Amino acid sequence: MKTLVVVASGAADRPLEELDGRTPLEAAATPVLDRLVRAGRLGRLTPAPQGLRPEEGAFALALFGLDPLSYADAGATLDAAAFDVPVDGADQAFRLSLVTADEKTIFDPTGGGVTRDEAALLLDALSEELDEPEFTFHAGSGSRNVMVWRGARDIQVKAVPPYDVAGKPLAGALPKGGGTKALLRTIERSAEILGRHDVNELRRELGENPANLAWPWGPGICVPLPDFTTRTGADAHVVGVQSTFLGAARLQGVAVTTPEGATGTLASNVRGKSSAALRVLEASDLVYLHVEALAAASHARDFVGKVEALERFDGYVLGPLLRALEGGLEARLVVIGGEGVSTETGSYLPDPVPFVVYGPGVRSTRRGAFTEVGARDAGFAVERAHELLEFLLHLGS
Name which of 69-78, 165-174, 180-189, 387-396 the model is least confident about. 387-396
Whole-number percent of the chain with pLDDT over 70: 97
Q: Considering 220, 253, 268, which residue would you say is the last residue of a domain?
A: 220
| Residue 270 confidence (pLDDT) | 76
Give the residue from 381, 328, 312 showing the smallest Cα distance to 11.
Answer: 312
Task: Tell me, yes or no, whether 125 lies in a domain.
Answer: yes
Residues 216, 259 within the same domain: no
Give the pLDDT confidence score for residue 145 in this predicted structure: 97
Residue type, 175: P
Nearest to 109 by CA among 384, 273, 299: 299
Q: Angle 48-370-306 (CA atoms, 0-180°, nearest 5)?
A: 80
**Would you list the DSSP string of 108-162?**
ETTTTT--HHHHHHHHHHHHHH---TTEEEE--SSSEEEEEETT-TT---B---G
pLDDT tier at 366 (50, 70, 90 boundaries)?
low
In tens, the pLDDT along 290-313 reads 998 899 899 889 999 999 999 999
Q: Mean pLDDT lowest for which of 178-187, 262-271, 285-294, 339-348?
A: 262-271
Q: Are 247 and 80 in contact (CB under 8 A)?
A: yes
pLDDT at 264: 58
The pLDDT value given to residue 262: 60
Q: Which domain holds residue 95?
A: 82-220
Report the pLDDT value the prediction gives residue 16, as an integer from 0 to 100: 97
| 30 and 113 share one domain | no
Mean residue pLDDT across the chain:
93
Do 246 and 382 lie in one domain? The reply is: yes
The pLDDT value given to residue 272: 83
pLDDT in tens, 150-170: 999 999 999 999 999 998 999
In this prediction the pTM is 0.94
pLDDT for residue 86 is more than 60: yes
In this structure, the answer to whether residues 262 and 380 fall within a common structural domain is yes
pLDDT at 395 over 80: no
Asked if pLDDT for residue 261 goes beyond 80, the answer is no
Q: Of 320, 338, 341, 337, nearest to 329 (Cα)?
A: 320
Crossing angle (nearest 10°) for helices 319-326 and 270-281: 30
Q: Is residue 77 part of a domain?
A: no
Q: What is the percentage of the chain residues whose pLDDT exceeds 90? A: 87
Residue 268 — pLDDT band, cuts 50, 70, 90?
low
Does residue 45 sit in the same domain as residue 151?
no
- pLDDT band with cut points at 50, 70 and 90 for residue 263: low
Same domain, 233 and 148: no
Query: What three-state secondary structure class fits 45?
Result: strand
Looking at the structure, tell me whether residues 103 and 54 fall in a common domain.
no
Examine residue 380 and state whether it is found in any structural domain, yes or no.
yes
Average pLDDT over residues 105-115: 93
